[in-house]
Amino acid sequence: MNKSFSNHHALKDINIQFNKGETTVILGPSGSGKSTLLRCINLLEIPQTGTLEIDSFKIDFTQKLSQKDKLLIRQNTAMVFQSFNLFPHMTVLENVIEGPITVLKKDKSSMIHIGEQLLEKVGLLHKKDSYPSQLSGGQQQRVAIARALAMEPKFLLFDEPTSALDPELEGEVLKVLKALAEEQKSMIIVTHNLNFARVAADRILFLENGEILFDGRTDEFFNNTENERIISFIQSMQFI
Amino acid sequence: MSRELEIVLNSIWPVLKAGLAVTIPLSLISFAIALVIAVITALVKLSNFKILKLIFSTYVWIFRGTPLLVQLFLVFYGLPKAGVTLDPWTAAIITFSLNTGAYASESIRASILSIPKGQWEAAESLGMTYWQVLRRVIAPQTVRISLPPVTNDFIDLVKGTSLAASITIAEMFMIGQQIVAFTYEPLAIYALVAVIYLMFVSILTFIQGRLEKVASKYI
């Protein structure tokens, strides 16, 4: 796929396949196109050219997208945002079950049960009747993860999920992500946290200037001795 | 008892009665219609429909850009020349709702714009359609944010209904004028009229406070 913003060519002929049950971490310097790539998968950005396929379902971006295509893609790819974006007027539990009830037309009483299980999974069942404004950033992000899980998407997308959190709160969110990775959930995570990538990722994508510079297994990425650019990136990150 | 005091006391009920029978219903009916107009106008102006946007922007431009009194005269005294004769109440309701609708549409549009983009994105990424996002996510938050400015527009309308006197509607101000005409107590009577307006607006302000509390319970 290709994506441009006015004069800026953000993604250049990107061609990738994501596998089920795999945790992929996308790394790269700011402005490399990693968030754009993630947002294109969820159609929050629409690429100018290219195709997107999930299982046997395929859309072509040179054609006009129908609302039905959009919804189908989005229901299969749930997004967790850097700034959480919980719905402030809904309680924690209402946030979690909103998508399944409104979009998937699921039965409310059974969703309440599922929602409570998901909240238990992220350790926040006791906060189910609180409003987002009463939670810490880390707690809000864990609710956002539960909200994404409630849609039972084929892929979970994370756009810098811990960048707005201080290190202590970052830990509690990363722990949840790690647990999901161990459950073989299919996840694509954009992050700046190299340590997390090292322990949780099956696969690393390294992007720069809208191009994929590296696509391979995590240990290959960190033990890489040939690609100068990746070596200097890892060094600069570890210096921080 | 002084003469002035007696006149004022005797005038309270006639003025208040005009308020209850005319000012309040005229305000409520016009405001209800204005709200519908305002929501539609705000949504159109936030949409991508170029021609509709131009039409609604022109409407807001005209009704915010010309005096309410002139609008009332045009509709009630002017339109008959073009073959459209309206009774005073119809003319007043049309003018007041279009006028308040223009102002309130901007209050509502600003409120919608103040909701972070991330709210739209989060809702859309769940697969919600435009209308679902609007109904489930944007509208509840807009209600809270727009309460103060829209109440402001409503208060303006309540006071603006005094202009209906000029198109023969016997609302509070006109009753006041009539009492002044035969008692010649302009200071006392117009002060009485002002106090009753103030009372009505105070009730509105009180209701606004209660509504804000309810709408802000999640903050």
- Taking only the tens place, the pLDDT of each residue in B97-150 is 999 999 999 999 999 999 999 999 999 999 999 999 999 999 999 999 999 999
Q: Tell me, yes or no, if the pTM score tops 0.80.
A: yes
pLDDT confidence of residue B2: 85
Provide, as residue numbers in chain A, all residues whose Cβ is less than 8 Å from the Cβ of B128.
Answer: 99, 102-103
> Where are any strands of DSSP class E within B62-208?
none
Q: How many domains does chain B have?
A: 1
Is 80 exceeded by the pLDDT of residue A5? no
CB contact under 8 A, A88 and B141: yes
We report the CATH number of the domain holding residue A10 as: 3.40.50.300
For A74, name the nearest residue in chain B, comparing CA atoms only: B127
Q: How far apart are CA A67 and CA B45, in angstroms?
A: 22
Provide, as residue numbers in chain B, all residues whose Cβ is less than 8 Å from the Cβ of A90.
Answer: 218
Instruction: Name residues whose C-beta falls within 8 Å of residue A33's C-beta, 6 or more positions apart in sequence.
Output: A3, A10, A11, A14, A207, A209, A210, A211
CB contact under 8 A, A79 and B129: no
For A130, name the nearest residue in chain B, comparing CA atoms only: B218
Q: How far apart are CA A171 and CA A157, in angstroms?
A: 19
CB contact under 8 A, A44 and B124: yes
CA distance B109 to chain A (A): 19
CA distance B143 to chain A (A): 11
Averaged pLDDT of chain A: 90
* Structural domain that includes position B146: 3-218
pLDDT confidence of residue A195: 86
CA distance A214 to chain B (A): 28
Domain presence at residue A63: yes
Instruction: Name residues whose C-beta falls within 8 Å of residue B102's C-beta, 6 or more positions apart in sequence.
Output: B37, B38, B41, B59, B60, B62, B63, B64
Is 60 exceeded by the pLDDT of residue A17? yes
Q: How far apart are CA A90 and CA A59, in angstroms?
A: 34
pLDDT band at A63; cut points 50, 70, 90? confident
Nearest by CB to A133, from B116, B140, B218: name it: B218
Residue A194 region by backbone torsions, left for phi larger than 0, else alpha for psi between -120 and 50, else beta: alpha
Is 60 exceeded by the pLDDT of residue A240? no
SS3 A177: helix
Taking only the tens place, the pLDDT of each residue in A91-149 is: 999 999 999 999 999 999 999 999 999 999 999 999 999 999 999 999 999 999 999 99
Q: How far apart are CA A178 and CA B14, in angstroms?
A: 75
Per DSSP, what are the bridge partners of residue A156? A78, A187
Domain presence at residue A40: yes
Helix, strand, coil distribution of chain A in percent, nearest 5: 45, 20, 35
* Structural domain that includes position A60: 3-86+154-239
CB contact under 8 A, A87 and B128: no
Q: How many domains does chain A have?
A: 1
Ranges under pLDDT 70 in chain B: 1
On whether the CB atoms of residues A164 and A84 are closer than 8 A, the answer is yes
We report the CATH number of the domain holding residue B87 as: 1.10.3720.10
Q: How far apart are CA A90 and CA B136, in angstroms?
A: 10
pLDDT band at A6; cut points 50, 70, 90? low
Q: How far apart are CA A164 and CA A171, in angstroms?
A: 12
Taking only the tens place, the pLDDT of each residue in A197-233 is: 988 899 999 998 888 888 989 988 888 778 888 888 8
